[in-house]
Structure 1
């Protein structure tokens, strides 16, 4: 028969009270039940499993708790060979029509995990001693503690049978940091259901491929299925129907009661999206004040957990993050379980909102925030994590498409939000101005129109009689709505920010320069409010922390503008359709961006660089984080890949001389004192100027080391080096002319250092 593998990431925990039967075997709740597919009993510390002969060759999902509530998952089968039973893990046949390799090895069809003597045969049921399965090495789990195990503390603790699921709790004894400790590890066996009807992966939509642990980006349309829940209409003839089985999330009892309504609301933000896809009441959120650990970690429960290092000294304000742990059926991409792990600390929520919206929401001017405001922030984070729990990625959804004029428009914000998707990293609306009188509820990031569109594509159900070809055509037509609705466009790029639709931590609009000016207005207001939130404190830790985060937001805002230079608008357009996948940003927009950076990045505003409270938190120029961010911006402008994109624009887009023009603008902006006859540059500006010279000198002197095309990503072309050399020659001429006017002045030493660097370069060349 064909063996199929299931593999994914997830978390599993098990526990319970034991009851002794007459024969001394431990059982639970009156035994395993007549419908149990497997039975297990713990006898004298040994775990015995009863395997019906009818289950030989049948696929099971075998899961294990891994680090930080993540799950290790395998698809396994028990098979008989002679007088032995083998536990085997197999590669998976995807419903998309392709093998998913086992352990990333295309030559492996199966691996043997364990071999058992058949034991006694009790009416076609084999009794196996499976104790060693749960702490033996060589099973190939992804996350295995690298600390030595302590045999005397390692044992099987208990078992429990839930509906179609055998759970086993194991205690590992570990030697950690020289001390003995124990760790509970939980395993589960579950029979696999029939594969659900899958949805084929398409790189133009923001869903994970079923092999979630293997991250793929870009424009490769892998053969596979997206991860999603099995939703089927109860009334197939209705346009909108309740599902046969809804998606259920269980709120863990450890979630503080005051936050439960907000977490519930964050999950339920997705209900209208599912209704647009044809499902009413697709999601249920259940709250409980008690939850036994078996149910809490069963595959039958998707649990919202409250995690993190709260109330542990020196760790209580660490910037963690919320995340999701999933269990996936690799055959079809079906989500079996999605736990939402709420791990961020309140401080992070408050700081992120304060630096963006304190001037727009008076509630944010008092630390700690009132419960209502903090609850709304928790709701926004929950809605984002719920998107992951439904199969969606972190990525860029419809960004660089929203009109900047709408950021303070209340009707627009009610309908569309300030960003198309909750899955972007836009955060909160810091572009609306106080004069817009935007209600604070509309400043929060929420489930948006792109999210509804994405759910419709992934979850809408087709009539049973509809052919596969007709279904594919229907889905393609839905994707092609992106041709006329730009905020339906998805892109995911990593390692290279190609354009203004692929930056993070800012509200992206169709005019990054204007948006940055609006953001800076609010940042200045928020800086003025910053001392208020430190009143009554016995130290300046809060003031220092929020100011540091304000600098980081300034850097991200500058980065969004910078992305215009050498940038492209990205649209994953089908090749048989009009339009382009990469459209270069206009020359005018690129020049405007460089002018803005000259004014705001190279000479940052006084309120940011020299805040009134600065003398309360600093006694030295070290560390100067603002200067470091300025240097990063200069180096990003000179990035190898940006230079290559500018070269491409010259060669293929008709942008004649744009590389030279961009470098010239950058150089004039950095050294504007030379052209404007100003006094000596500030100490920070001097360091920026020398950073620029050092980098170009290094770039021009870089020896050719690679000839293979794919390995040249971090090398400058000879053409770019020539343009750089030409700019430095021009700079040297201006410096020499200017130098005669500053001899004997305070500026003489700095400009002499610049000339020495340039003279040395030109002499060598």
Structure 2
């Protein structure tokens, strides 16, 4: 559920350049009149000969490539005639929103030269040229083409296929890797552009990509552009709800086993009620395919749901990676024309993630392997998430820190609202309900929620034909303002910095992170305790080790969610004429409560987590120490300059006076609390944490900051923060000297002496 790849795509007109038609069969087997392709081609003695009609000269076309990366890359191109030659060029794209789109990230480029072809023949209608070089030439940059060394003597054009409005060319590209030669199949397509559809303006408050996925600028900037969405129009304009003129259609690849296909289909169709809110019935169709050859699989006329290439490969059983979607988008208007859904997560990974969250709540998860029904529901969840991407919606944070914690065990709420407002967040499954709540197991799995319905309604609702631009804009803004009264409709982008409890992943984010953590960890403890019984009969400890590692990862993310309260903000993106702030600090008392809970849990974790009963001891050494690894990551979170700068800013606000001083003092006192105890004994893990704390401050004080630019300064501590830290380190130095001098029987004496030496190195004596 990670990266989206947007490319340019052209819808194909139904007219034919050559003016006659032929019979063909659609994928469902029905006969239809199909216009002859606008380009014709043939392979002659290994050469690709293409006939380019004169009527296509200087007309916008699309040239796409698709190799083993599974993603589509594309270029706006056009043919131009000069003398006895045709030239292939890539021009800059004009958006229907009234702006030029940068080409290849360069705002100065207006066109790129791609190829030059002598005219072989002209029949009064079309020019014949040899295009072999451009489909085999490695000098033409394709974003997703393999970067491995090419073997030209092995590369060849395999064949061509003419589809309605699409010319497809199959090649095999010779590649070399570590002395081994192999062939990679690469498909190219040429398409012609139709009239662009009416765009829907991009708005940063709604989680849709701008059409070309331009990520430059601040995440709160409203770029001039259109969002990515399908061309969907009512068949019956006078009805409140109508079937579309052309529904969104997905094909289930034959490589997906038959027993999982009903769940794949159900995952896609979870979105049907959302489209009903936008005025469409039966907006999506899903077809199961018994066969699908390479041409149909790669054609831009088909959107295919299939396993990722590494599915069922030994060694990838436990790997994550989620799924992904390759969106093919017409950048002029944002129209999505093709979207393949690639299911990359292994079934084993889906099951392990569910076990650590819900085994205490769902008896089906206590069997090994899971029953097909439960595995199918997890596949459905994965497909539902990826379908959201295929419809244009981004990953990120939707209404998090808004759902009430007490509702997480309320079956009626979960039926109506779900445990998270959107399937597009990384909340995963409900581990906040408790066994006493008796929540039906099917309500524990993440599904399409109310915020997803809201997003589809905003993007796909048709306007009455008589409405002008101003009226449409006002209606869209009115719908966005629903976020004023429905807080779980709100979206925010973490932008690589967790600035509050609505910005963390892998946890169910309620309005009470501390209370939620207590419930989640209670279920995690119960799940780990179930492992010995559920793993009976296995001949190895692989599953126990794997699920324990998953449990530690979940503990880490739960701790991050609690920590996000400290120096944290609630985020609510707004227009200039809306009252209130974009960033509202979390109440200081709640920050202090979160810090207290976090310090007790993160660096003094419970025995059930550090030494679980897995039915057999699975360790023979102190290395690797997975718990310590996560503790070190959490310490780095505590020491981040970004967090300290937020606390430094909070000190300027009423009610947050002394926030940074409190934070640094609380952090250091809790980390070194053993020094204040009678014996001074420090467990080995805590020694490593204390040592890392001093080492990192030593490094931070030595960083050269005066030559850094504005952007780089975000990643170093301010002078004020370093001054506050130095004051605390000097106090720690004095305390260590006193303790080592007065307490002759101080335990962990060597460790404390090392800490003092490190401090003296840092402070200069």
User: TM-score, with normalisation over the residues of structure 1?
Assistant: 0.94
Alpha-carbon distance in 2 for matches of 1:580, 1:396: 18
Alpha-carbon distance in 1 for matches of 2:355, 2:218: 33
Superposed CA offset, 1:706-748 (max 9, x none): 3643331122222111111111222234434444553134333
Greater Cα shift, 176-185 or 671-680: 671-680
Shift in Å, 1:493: 1.8
Corresponding residue of 1:704: 705
Alpha-carbon distance in 1 for matches of 2:514, 2:76: 52
3-state SS in 2 of match to 1:392: coil
Residue 28 of structure 1 contacts residue 160 of structure 1 at CA under 8 Å; is this kept in 2? no
Alpha-carbon distance in 2 for matches of 1:678, 1:547: 33
Against the structure 1 CA distance between its residues 490 and 653, is the aligned structure 2 distance closer, same or farther, given a 3 Å change threshold? Answer: farther
Shift in Å, 1:270: 0.4
3-state SS in 2 of match to 1:713: helix
Against the structure 1 CA distance between its residues 649 and 41, is the aligned structure 2 distance closer, same or farther, given a 3 Å change threshold? Answer: same
Superposed CA offset, 1:410-460 (max 9, x none): 111111111110010000001100001111111101001110111111111
Corresponding residue of 2:461: 460
Residue 269 of structure 1 contacts residue 383 of structure 1 at CA under 8 Å; is this kept in 2? yes
Alpha-carbon distance in 2 for matches of 1:709, 1:142: 31
Residue 10 of structure 1 contacts residue 325 of structure 1 at CA under 8 Å; is this kept in 2? no
Corresponding residue of 2:302: 301
Alpha-carbon distance in 2 for matches of 1:103, 1:750: 55
Residue 401 of structure 1 contacts residue 486 of structure 1 at CA under 8 Å; is this kept in 2? yes
Alpha-carbon distance in 2 for matches of 1:81, 1:73: 25
Alpha-carbon distance in 1 for matches of 2:531, 2:216: 40
Alpha-carbon distance in 1 for matches of 2:708, 2:115: 49
Residue 266 of structure 1 contacts residue 380 of structure 1 at CA under 8 Å; is this kept in 2? yes
Corresponding residue of 1:177: 178
Residue 66 of structure 2 contacts residue 73 of structure 2 at CA under 8 Å; is this kept in 1? yes
3-state SS in 1 of match to 2:714: coil
Shift in Å, 1:575: 1.9
Residue 679 of structure 2 contacts residue 747 of structure 2 at CA under 8 Å; is this kept in 1? no
1:279 counterpart = 2:280: yes
Give unmatched runs, 5+ long, in structure 1. Answer: 1-6, 13-26
Corresponding residue of 1:620: 621
Residue 356 of structure 2 contacts residue 547 of structure 2 at CA under 8 Å; is this kept in 1? yes
Superposed CA offset, 1:88-128 (max 9, x none): 11110001111112222222211221112222221222112
Corresponding residue of 1:23: none
Aligned residues: 743
Against the structure 1 CA distance between its residues 317 and 686, is the aligned structure 2 distance closer, same or farther, given a 3 Å change threshold? Answer: closer
Alignment of 1:149-188 (within 5 A): 149-188=150-189
Shift in Å, 1:311: 4.0
Residue 11 of structure 1 contacts residue 70 of structure 1 at CA under 8 Å; is this kept in 2? no
Alignment of 1:110-509 (within 5 A): 110-212=111-213, 214=215, 218-509=219-510
Alpha-carbon distance in 2 for matches of 1:738, 1:45: 84
Residue 79 of structure 2 contacts residue 88 of structure 2 at CA under 8 Å; is this kept in 1? yes
Superposed CA offset, 1:439-494 (max 9, x none): 11111010011101111111111112101011001000111111111101000122
Corresponding residue of 1:589: 590
3-state SS in 1 of match to 2:573: coil
Superposition CA RMSD, Å: 2.2
Greater Cα shift, 434-443 or 40-49: 40-49
Against the structure 1 CA distance between its residues 67 and 220, is the aligned structure 2 distance closer, same or farther, given a 3 Å change threshold? Answer: farther
1:633 counterpart = 2:625: no
Alpha-carbon distance in 1 for matches of 2:148, 2:764: 58
Alpha-carbon distance in 1 for matches of 2:97, 2:540: 59
Corresponding residue of 1:9: 7
Residue 500 of structure 1 contacts residue 564 of structure 1 at CA under 8 Å; is this kept in 2? yes
Corresponding residue of 2:13: none
Corresponding residue of 2:19: none
Shift in Å, 1:81: 1.5
3-state SS in 1 of match to 2:510: coil
3-state SS in 1 of match to 2:7: coil
Alpha-carbon distance in 2 for matches of 1:591, 1:614: 39
Residue 11 of structure 1 contacts residue 69 of structure 1 at CA under 8 Å; is this kept in 2? no
User: TM-score, with normalisation over the residues of structure 2?
Assistant: 0.94
Give unmatched runs, 5+ long, in structure 2. Answer: 11-22, 26-30
Shift in Å, 1:675: 3.6
Alpha-carbon distance in 1 for matches of 2:34, 2:380: 41
Shift in Å, 1:678: 5.5
Greater Cα shift, 286-295 or 228-237: 286-295
Corresponding residue of 2:20: none
Alpha-carbon distance in 1 for matches of 2:599, 2:35: 76
Residue 233 of structure 1 contacts residue 279 of structure 1 at CA under 8 Å; is this kept in 2? yes
Shift in Å, 1:645: 0.5
Greater Cα shift, 424-433 or 751-760: 751-760
Shift in Å, 1:203: 0.4
3-state SS in 1 of match to 2:295: helix
Against the structure 1 CA distance between its residues 10 and 267, is the aligned structure 2 distance closer, same or farther, given a 3 Å change threshold? Answer: farther
Alpha-carbon distance in 2 for matches of 1:160, 1:174: 24
Against the structure 1 CA distance between its residues 532 and 141, is the aligned structure 2 distance closer, same or farther, given a 3 Å change threshold? Answer: same
Corresponding residue of 1:722: 723
Alignment of 1:558-573 (within 5 A): 558-573=559-574
Corresponding residue of 1:58: 59
Against the structure 1 CA distance between its residues 664 and 238, is the aligned structure 2 distance closer, same or farther, given a 3 Å change threshold? Answer: same
3-state SS in 2 of match to 1:36: coil
Alpha-carbon distance in 1 for matches of 2:374, 2:408: 21
Shift in Å, 1:676: 4.6
Against the structure 1 CA distance between its residues 728 and 151, is the aligned structure 2 distance closer, same or farther, given a 3 Å change threshold? Answer: closer
Residue 700 of structure 1 contacts residue 724 of structure 1 at CA under 8 Å; is this kept in 2? no
Alpha-carbon distance in 2 for matches of 1:557, 1:505: 8
Alpha-carbon distance in 2 for matches of 1:11, 1:173: 27
Residue 408 of structure 2 contacts residue 414 of structure 2 at CA under 8 Å; is this kept in 1? yes
Residue 50 of structure 1 contacts residue 128 of structure 1 at CA under 8 Å; is this kept in 2? yes
Against the structure 1 CA distance between its residues 697 and 232, is the aligned structure 2 distance closer, same or farther, given a 3 Å change threshold? Answer: same
Superposed CA offset, 1:550-594 (max 9, x none): 111101000000111111111102121111100111111111011
Alpha-carbon distance in 1 for matches of 2:467, 2:34: 41
Superposed CA offset, 1:20-55 (max 9, x none): xxxxxxx9999x976321111222222221221111
Alpha-carbon distance in 2 for matches of 1:654, 1:526: 41
Alpha-carbon distance in 2 for matches of 1:572, 1:42: 55
3-state SS in 1 of match to 2:187: strand
3-state SS in 2 of match to 1:719: helix
3-state SS in 1 of match to 2:337: strand
Residue 681 of structure 2 contacts residue 747 of structure 2 at CA under 8 Å; is this kept in 1? yes
Against the structure 1 CA distance between its residues 61 and 617, is the aligned structure 2 distance closer, same or farther, given a 3 Å change threshold? Answer: same
3-state SS in 2 of match to 1:547: helix
Residue 10 of structure 1 contacts residue 66 of structure 1 at CA under 8 Å; is this kept in 2? no
Corresponding residue of 1:746: 747
Alpha-carbon distance in 2 for matches of 1:158, 1:66: 15
Alpha-carbon distance in 2 for matches of 1:686, 1:8: 48
Shift in Å, 1:296: 2.0
Against the structure 1 CA distance between its residues 11 and 234, is the aligned structure 2 distance closer, same or farther, given a 3 Å change threshold? Answer: closer
Alpha-carbon distance in 2 for matches of 1:36, 1:258: 38
Against the structure 1 CA distance between its residues 101 and 763, is the aligned structure 2 distance closer, same or farther, given a 3 Å change threshold? Answer: closer
